[in-house]
Structure 1
Amino acid sequence: MTSLYDDVGGFDVLLALCCRWHDLCLADPVAAHPFEHPGHPQHNERLAAYLAEALGGPALFTGGYGDETYVQRLHAGNGEHVELDEACLTLFDRAVEESGIDPEAGRRLSSYFRRATEAQRAYADGPHLVPDDLPFNRA
């Protein structure tokens, strides 16, 4: 049995997906906001590493960047922004479709990404709400 990581095509496909999603978000008036500000210079690589690990691939994120608590605290404290989330999720789905990923694997990937995005709303009021030692959010 293969992992979802294998089914989507591995790290290079995920990195290309993240780069395409980033570009789509920058071009969208609603989704652009979090991507317009200077962020980490390797945001796409870090997101691809996170997704690789979440989908059952190698432990690239926890092996080099941080853990789930780190990720949640990084994104916490921005309030609830459902309209922004929905715009970004719609563009993620579009990037998945454009990436050439098998449609069933793409549906599973998009479903995971939606759940992960919606779960971040639990910490909308601040990083102090994020517990220590959160388990990694796997698909």
Structure 2
Amino acid sequence: MSDPTIYEFIGGGDTLRGLAEAHYRRCTTDPVLRQVFGTEPRPEHAVHLADWLGEVFGGPATYTEKHGGHEALLLHHAGKHITEDQRAAFVRAFAEAADEVGVPGDEHLRARLTSYLEWGTAIAKDVSQATPADISSTDPVPKWGWDEKDSPA
């Protein structure tokens, strides 16, 4: 029997939806993150984030099938002009949300989540400096596994 994926270990789609909702709530109330996320609720953001994370961590390809895949995610960040402070606040808010919803505290899991978030938010910050017209990608959604060799970073 093979090891569970991160998606399975974390608790699957229900856990990721709870995590995404708790994280998004922080993004709309934190003064630094509100500069990016605004103050008007967009419930679809948490749904999209949960679907993205599920696909990244070995779950179903829901983000690709329903929301447009990797290029669509890049386009959502284009033109946002994310700062380093905003990027770091996003990562911190995610860790706080993970604690809130009871994501397992397993050290290896938390290290892999943090590793992905650091990698992914650095890309989002870079892409955010571009305009949508400058963005195109045929890359699939990246997959993040238990070992560094299993991940694109």
Q: TM-score, normalised by structure 1?
A: 0.88
Deviates more, 1:50-59 or 1:23-32: 23-32
Q: Determine the C-alpha separation between the residues in 1 that align with 2:33 and 2:125.
A: 17
Tell whether the 8 Å contact from 1:53 to 1:59 is kept in structure 2 after alignment: yes
Match of 2:25 in 1: 23
Deviates more, 1:63-72 or 1:95-104: 95-104
Match of 1:61 in 2: 63
Match of 1:120 in 2: 124
RMSD: 1.8
Gaps of 5+ in 2: 145-153
Query: Closer, same or farther in 2 for the Cα pair 1:53/1:79, shift >3 Å?
Result: same
Aligned pair partner of 1:111 in 107, 110, 115: 115
1:94: Cα distance to partner? 0.9
Q: Determine the C-alpha separation between the residues in 2 that align with 1:80 and 1:32.
A: 11
**Residue identity in the other structure for 1:79:** H
Q: Determine the C-alpha separation between the residues in 2 that align with 1:28 and 1:87.
A: 8
Query: Closer, same or farther in 2 for the Cα pair 1:58/1:71, shift >3 Å?
Result: same
Match of 2:38 in 1: 36
**Residue identity in the other structure for 1:125:** A
**Residue identity in the other structure for 1:129:** D
Match of 1:52 in 2: 54
Residues matched between the structures, number = 139
Gaps of 5+ in 1: none
Residue 32 of structure 1 aligns to a residue whose secondary structure is helix
Q: Determine the C-alpha separation between the residues in 2 that align with 1:94 and 1:68.
A: 26
Q: Determine the C-alpha separation between the residues in 2 that align with 1:66 and 1:99.
A: 28
% identical aligned pairs: 28
Q: TM-score, normalised by structure 2?
A: 0.81
Residue 134 of structure 1 aligns to a residue whose secondary structure is coil
Query: Closer, same or farther in 2 for the Cα pair 1:80/1:21, shift >3 Å?
Result: closer
Deviates more, 1:72-81 or 1:10-19: 72-81
